[in-house]
Each structure stands twice: as C-alpha cells, then as structure tokens.
Amino acid sequence: MKTINDFNFKGKKALIRVDFNVPLDADFNVTDDNRIEAAKPTIIKVLEDGGSAVLMSHLGRPDGNANPALSLKHICHKVSEVLGVSVKFATESIGPIAEKAVAELKSGEVLLLENLRFHAEEEKGDKNFAEQLSKLGDIYVNDAFGTAHRAHASTTIVAQFFPDKKCFGFLLAKEIEAIEKVMRTGEKPVTAILGGAKVSSKITIIENILDKVDHLIIGGGMTYTFVKANGGKVGDSICEDDKMDLALEILDKAKKKGVKVHIPVDVLAADDFSNKANTRIVNSNEIPDGWQGLDAGPKTLEIFKEVILKSKTILWNGPIGVFEMESFAKGTIAIGNYIDEATKKGAFSLVGGGDSVAAVKQFGFENKVSYVSTGGGAMLESLEGKTLPGIAAILA
C-alpha cells in the first residue's frame, strides 16, 4: 500500500483529492471544519518536502451546473486559516484557467480548484475529464475517504494516468488501517455495536461481520424487530414486521458461528415520540400498547457494559436510543463512556457511520475513542465487505 510517505514532493506538484464537502451557513461561513483539519497533515507534508499542492474537491450536489452558492471560493479563507498558508483559487477545475493557475504555482504554495461537480463528467467517471485533471499534477494523492466508494473521475479514473505516481494520503491510509483492525487483524474479543432504526439497512453489515466478531450488540430501533421475532410484545415501537424472519435467520447464523448476540432486556419506553413524553422502564418484550421503546434500560446497559469492558477491539455503528432528544440520550452516552473506558484499558475502538459519528461529536467522545471515521457511506460499504473503487484505483 503506497502512502504519501513513499514519495518526496520536492519540486513536484501534488494533485490531491480531498473531501471539503463542508457545511456552510447562510453567509457562506464554514460551520464545521473537521474535514479540512483532517486533510491538513497530507497537505503540510507536501509543502514541507518543498512541493506544491493542487486541491480538488466537490461541494454539495450542483448536478453539473455552476451554482455560485456551491462555489469552493467560499471556503478558501477557511482552508487558508486551517493550513496557515494563503490558498490561491482557480475559477475552473479543468482547462486553460486551471492549467495556467497550476503552471504559476510555486513550491510551498496551495491552489484550490473550483467545485468538480460543476462538471457532470465528474460523477459520470468520464475518462476525458479525468485526463484533463491529470494534467494538473505530477503525483496523484487520494485523501478523500468520504468519496472513496464512488467511481468518480477525480476519485478513481484519474489514477489511471499516474501508473507509478499515485498514493494514499495520511487520512485515507488511517481509514484503511482502522477498518483492517476491526475486520481482519483486531485483537479478540471483537465486539460490534450496531444501532439505528432498521434491520434492513444493516443486513449486509451484520452478515459480513459475523465471521469477524465474538459479540454483537443490537441497539436502537432495530431492537424491536428482533424482540417481536422472538415472540415479544413491542407496543407502538418501530418494527419491520417483514424483516422478522430475517432477524431470526441472523440469530441462527450467529449461534452457529459462536457469536454472542446481546439484545436489550429492558428499555426506556414513552407514551409519545417526544422529549416531554411520560416514560417508564419496561421489559423489552413487554411494552404495552400505546408505548414505544426509545432507549436502552438500566439492566441492558449493565450487560452491554460488561461485554464492552472485556473487548479488545470495538466497532460502533449507530446510536442505542433516540439520542437527539435529551430524555432518550442516556443509553448512547453510556455506550460512549464504556467505550472510552475500554479504550483507556488498551482496546482499539472505531466509530463510523452517520448517526454514531454525530453522537460522538455531540457528547464529546471524539478524542476518547481510537478512531472516528470521516466517511459515512464509504465506511458502511467497507463494513459490508465491498472493495471501494477509490481504494482499488490506488492499489491497481
């Protein structure tokens, strides 16, 4: 696996695919610069070698139209601030304007190209578009894990034009290593904590990780599909009735593979989907009509705690309750605390996938786990066992 450490960029221009798809407020201010911070070590390495960096990214979904509101010029100031270098901006991502800006770039300088998705060819993985991008650098660096599952021109196709001069940036290399630790090289016991609303959205992940884990903790809304499949009463809780047979199949497969599945034994139930609802602790298989389970109960959390603290490798994907409402955030916060404790004792912990990452950030666990993945869809596809095009293109 070639990484950025395998190259010296002195006098070279690095064409770096970053993921600067960051949120902006109404005044075009960046409201979360984590993705820019994450790419900083890769860019700084190029500059410290004596090279220059040409950054390419998308922002939003302009669908091939040059939408001024989605111009990357809005984030140029923030990128300059994070890098500590004045970043130049090219009003195009290919063609004479971009090529002239690159030609004028000196060692130690950074150029940000305009939004790649202003061209429909980017998402189509157009070879001609990729070839034009390839003219803008001497070495291709992919550091955008968030788009590694897309076979776009800038994430995959462009690598063809750099047969011996392509590599992973620090961020993408770290993402690959973190997933490898969970899926292949992790010290046992390995525990996967899967939450979220639906079994259907996690089927492929569950089926793929059953050969890799010793414990599977089920939480969130999908709890109730498993509970009902086992003959329990779930009241008005979210439940995929058409996935109950699948839930039983998963439990059967897990048993045959020696994987211990832990499903909540008690829950915090509410008489309304509201922060101000009346609540009570009930057994997970005895939820009364008119009530719905919205968080894990105290007995469940004690069981989960014991499993997590004995684990050496931990994957957390999906919240345990409706953490967006304060009344039902206790379970998710507790899981974060248990993982923090296990990590301090030497366990490797990986958090990935939309809502769990949001929860980790909201409750301040970002620096208390081993690694927080920057890619939602890419992370999930990796856990499903898929080969990501953006990664395969560098390895080819």
Q: Quick one: tokens of 141?
A: 């660096």
Would the annotation count 280 as a binding residue?
Answer: no
Would the annotation count 80 as a binding residue?
Answer: no
Residue environment code for 373-387, b if the CB has 16+ CB neighbours within 10 A, otherwise e: bbbbebbbbbbbeee
Element (H, E) at 121: helix 120-124
Would the annotation count 354 as a binding residue?
Answer: yes
Would the annotation count 117 as a binding residue?
Answer: yes
Would the annotation count 367 as a binding residue?
Answer: no
Would the annotation count 212 as a binding residue?
Answer: no
Would the annotation count 324 as a binding residue?
Answer: yes
> Given the DSSP bridges, would you call strands 279-283 and 266-270 parallel, antiparallel or unpaired?
antiparallel
Element (H, E) at 367: none
First-residue to last-residue Cα distance in the chain? 10
Would the annotation count 61 as a binding residue?
Answer: yes
Q: Helix and strand tally (H, E) in the chain? A: 14, 17
DSSP class of residue 259?
P
Q: How many CB atoms lie within 10 A of CB 242?
A: 10
**C-alpha closest to that of 168 among 141, 129, 132, 133:** 141
Q: List strand residue ranges (DSSP E) for the chain, in order.
A: 13-17, 52-56, 87-89, 110-112, 139-142, 166-168, 190-194, 215-218, 233-234, 260-262, 266-270, 279-283, 286-287, 292-296, 313-317, 348-351, 371-372
Active-site annotation, residues: 35, 198, 354, 377
Would the annotation count 232 as a binding residue?
Answer: no
Q: How far is CA 314 from CA 89, 184, 212, in A?
A: 41, 13, 11
List residues bridging with 271 in a β-sheet. none
Would the annotation count 353 as a binding residue?
Answer: yes
> What would you measure as the largest C-alpha separation in the chain, in angstroms?
70
Would the annotation count 58 as a binding residue?
Answer: yes
Would the annotation count 20 as a binding residue?
Answer: yes
**C-alpha closest to that of 320 among 306, 309, 334:** 334
Q: Which residues are annotated as a binding site?
A: 19-21, 35, 58-61, 117, 150, 202, 293, 324, 353-356
Q: Which residues are annotated as a binding site for ATP?
A: 202, 293, 324, 353-356
Q: Which residues are annotated as a binding site for (2R)-3-phosphoglycerate?
A: 35, 117, 150
Q: Which residues are annotated as a binding site for substrate?
A: 19-21, 35, 58-61, 117, 150
